Structure 1
């Protein structure tokens, strides 16, 4: 019978992976099963060792302005940060997150550090707005929004960006969350998320460690019409299904670089691509022969946006960061380096747009996280 990687095997792998990433800020140490606060604190500790912001000083000189940015991997590369610092004569401290749960923990924890700007998907933006954690944006200070594609300028039409007539977020990048597969092991593209459960791939599947997305994509796979608003019965059925998925898993991943290392070193066959096209780009650059597919039942998709926190110490500087992120040269780097779509240029491939399901607020975040913690910790189906 196949077993997931043991704790010792995982520890050795992660230590090796950490050494390979020691020159960068992206550590693969932050693996569940643990709470989002654990991962968030761990990411901050990693930043203290490696220097979050890809080389930006962790502490500014006395009297120097500092912009504290909370973002995802690939959104603030070293040269991008350095150019902003030089233009505005400030220091930028970038803290990276590896999941929505870690992002929430950093933003909402009792002793959470203070951030000025954050990148989050539309469902999370709504959550933060309702929790009074975000400040409304002055669009007159964001002239580069006029360079965005028309659909991203129509902020009222994008759920979660506005509240009571005020704008709280600006679209930045997006991707579907489809299936990534090894073409050598799977010569014919899989057509359903249900292939993740195919016993043929026992020990060769990777899954992203997130309560919200796992329940939602499994709901799609089971044909549930409302993947973000599940009944108690549906939640229980999905929990059983996710317990069953453990039989096929090599392990769970959090960061895209970590998934790439797992995929290549352990000859993974199939993966739920939480970071979508960004992961495909990383894998191909690493020499993997992979394909990417949107399943017939549809794939989740996220739209990440920039927002300013209510605690921002210098809102004009925070607005300058968002406007800078929308400069054509900066936005284009998302596509060139990360394989992600940006909001200024039309995507090349539109063939699967009809099968995209944009993520939305879920029925009970806490309940999903409680069930997920039990799933990844090894609880049996009959315990649900």
Structure 2
């Protein structure tokens, strides 16, 4: 997703996303935003006043955060909110829309915008708060989509892993592998997210495949059989996090593929569930949203100041407190130091995955794959 969404349907989900645009760009939080695009700043702008136009997801630029930035930099900030990657793209291509200065998007979308020549390289010297980020987010070249031709086009801001959620009352010791979803002891107690892309990818990771987003025909067949086998343990598939929470509590589920990650964990705990969250040893899929500056940015120093401001500890922590999303400055409590995060990327053949997934969900037998 970009932003508070569901990685999957935005993929992004946000964001019931059903895909690898992530993510996700889908989110529960978007349900509270009934508009697709809304201006948070409606007051008239003085002729000599600096203006920053921000394109982002709900929860990324709350009113109090915007006001603090305006007061510090003596500028007016106009925020336009979107609820899907498609809406984000449309806003950047609408003739009557304002020329945005900064935008928030997931890594897959950042690649798309960079190829379309819509972004401008960032001056890291103007972004000192990047030095506050966790080491893996400072290693920009190691994250696909952030750099091109040696130049940096995006700075990580927020992310969500898709780990394993478990009931502490039924499972005393935290599971270490996604393969536990197939453990016969959890027959009828497993919840899985209804997504072709993510199920094939996390199963590929569980099986030790090196390239979970680029599977060959033989690997696809093995995974399809494995996902048919997983049905024996399933309580059901879920789509929305609220739906999963209700199923988890009402039917006393033991394990769940947490498509919404820490955001979903927060929702479960608020509902009274005693759950734990782990990144499996083989790694967890994850979407990553970043801030970028557009080529049309009228005041580039102000745009860079916004991106740097978003990385201040107080601002980043608000994202975690309010949205349940991880920030790039502090390690989530549930993460191990050696946790492996696998940023979602484009898959080899989405139509083939969807075709196989429909057969799996409908109950087809393994011999038919």
* Alignment map for 1:1-384 (pairs within 5 Å): 50-51=34-35, 57=39, 60=42, 67-71=53-57, 74-84=59-69, 88-97=75-84, 103=85, 105-107=86-88, 117-149=102-134, 151-198=136-183, 201=186, 204-246=189-231, 248-254=234-240, 256=241, 259-309=244-294, 318-338=303-323, 340-345=325-330, 351-353=336-338, 355-359=339-343, 361-364=345-348, 366-367=350-351, 370-371=354-355, 374=358, 378=362, 380=364, 384=369
Q: Secondary structure at the match of 2:169?
A: coil
Q: Would you say the 8 A contact 2:319–2:325 is kept in 1?
A: yes
Q: Would you say the 8 A contact 2:106–2:287 is kept in 1?
A: yes
Q: Distance in 1 between matches of 2:265 and 2:27?
A: 26
Q: Distance in 2 between matches of 1:360 and 1:282?
A: 23
Q: Would you say the 8 A contact 2:25–2:106 is kept in 1?
A: no
TM-score (norm 1): 0.69
Q: Distance in 1 between matches of 2:68 and 2:163?
A: 34
Q: Cα gap change, 1:365/1:130 in structure 2, threshold over 3 Å: closer, same or farther? A: farther
- Unpaired segments of 5 or more residues in structure 2? 1-12
Give the alignment's Cα RMSD to 1 decimal.
4.4
Q: Deviations over 1:307-346 (max 9, x none)?
A: 2455767766544432221122101223444555433346
Q: Distance in 2 between matches of 1:29 and 1:171?
A: 16
Report deviation, 1:179: 0.6
Matched pairs, number: 343
Q: Cα gap change, 1:363/1:196 in structure 2, threshold over 3 Å: closer, same or farther? A: same
Q: Deviations over 1:42-95 (max 9, x none)?
A: 99x967x73468xx6578467696734333x65444533454466632331222
Q: Distance in 1 between matches of 2:320 and 2:91?
A: 36
- Unpaired segments of 5 or more residues in structure 1? 1-27, 98-102
Q: Cα gap change, 1:74/1:383 in structure 2, threshold over 3 Å: closer, same or farther? A: farther
TM-score (norm 2): 0.71
Q: Cα gap change, 1:307/1:190 in structure 2, threshold over 3 Å: closer, same or farther? A: same
Residue equivalent to 1:14: none
Report deviation, 1:170: 0.5
